[in-house]
Amino acid sequence: MDLGTVAMTGAAGTIGSVVRKALRRDVGRLILLDRVPLRPEAENEDVRTVDLRDAAALEAALTGADRVLHLGGIPDEARLPDLLEANVLGTHHVLEAARRTGIERVVLASSNRVTGFYPVGELTGPQDPVRPDGLYGVSKVAVEALGQLYADKFGLSVICLRIGSFEHMPTEARHLATWLSPRDAVGYVRAALTAPPSTRFAAVYAVSANTRRFWELPDPSVLAYAPVDDAELHAGNIPGADFPIDPTAPQAGPYALPEFTLEHLRS
């Protein structure tokens, strides 16, 4: 598999570090972008220190890329102005750079938390209206909307991955439904980067094949990846795994609590 030149933002992050190692053998050139300085670890790596808020620098760094994987941004609840700047404006700069430089495929890191207020007893899919569980979820709703706009208006091919609980191993009861293993994360990324150009826009849940999951797996006609890992295999090591589940409780778990957001509303 040769994906040509792939650029990845947020390359120093938790997911970026795992995907970086996996993509090296799939690409001719890997452009790694982060505001944290990086060092190349392979001959085909090209590292750049770039802030997503700097549109001109970002465009220069993305010039020559065939595909973009956008993982950069604030990964959790924060003040709304900070989320708008890092996640929404940063994504806008990525999409605009792609439009201006002729990049046809952009993969955006969205989040399961765009639908965190659906109950755990309901299997939720990308066709369901958004119900964000906090300000972070709101920022990812905006990220997906920007992707849809650039697909509809400018013809970019945009795939949004609604990332689950990315962990090397599931460690808490909620992960039995939401876990995304490193192996499956890489699988989803590869599938999104290589999906046919005819896929103009898609939003899919990136989650492992967990027995207790409450999100739909991707339709193979939309994204050709079937996850292979199941958090249930680790249930015996997870506290509370056998406790009864309230089917009306929000999928977001503690992220849906008012306290989780209130601390970020105070000046």
Distance CA 3, CA 15 (A): 19
β partners of residue 108? 70, 160
From its phi and psi, is residue 81 left (phi > 0), alpha (psi between -120 and 50) or beta? Answer: alpha
- Point out the catalytic residue in the list 136, 150, 188, 225: 136
Q: How many H-runs (helices) and E-runs (strands) does the chain carry? A: 8, 9
From its phi and psi, is residue 91 left (phi > 0), alpha (psi between -120 and 50) or beta? Answer: alpha
Q: Rounded to the nearest 5 degrees, what angle is found at the Cα of 189, between the Cα atoms of 48 and 183?
A: 110
Distance CA 215, CA 229 (A): 15
* One-letter amino acid for residue 36 of the chain: V
**Pairing relationship of beta strands 67-70 and 5-9 according to DSSP bridges:** parallel
Q: Determine phi and psi for 186, rounding to 5 degrees.
A: -65, -40
C-beta neighbour count of 25 within 10 angstroms? 11
Q: Is 205 a catalytic residue?
A: no
β partners of residue 33? 9, 48
C-beta neighbour count of 166 within 10 angstroms? 20
Distance CA 161, CA 194 (A): 14
3-class secondary structure for 53-68? CCHHHHHHHHCCCCEE
- Give me the active site residues, please: 136
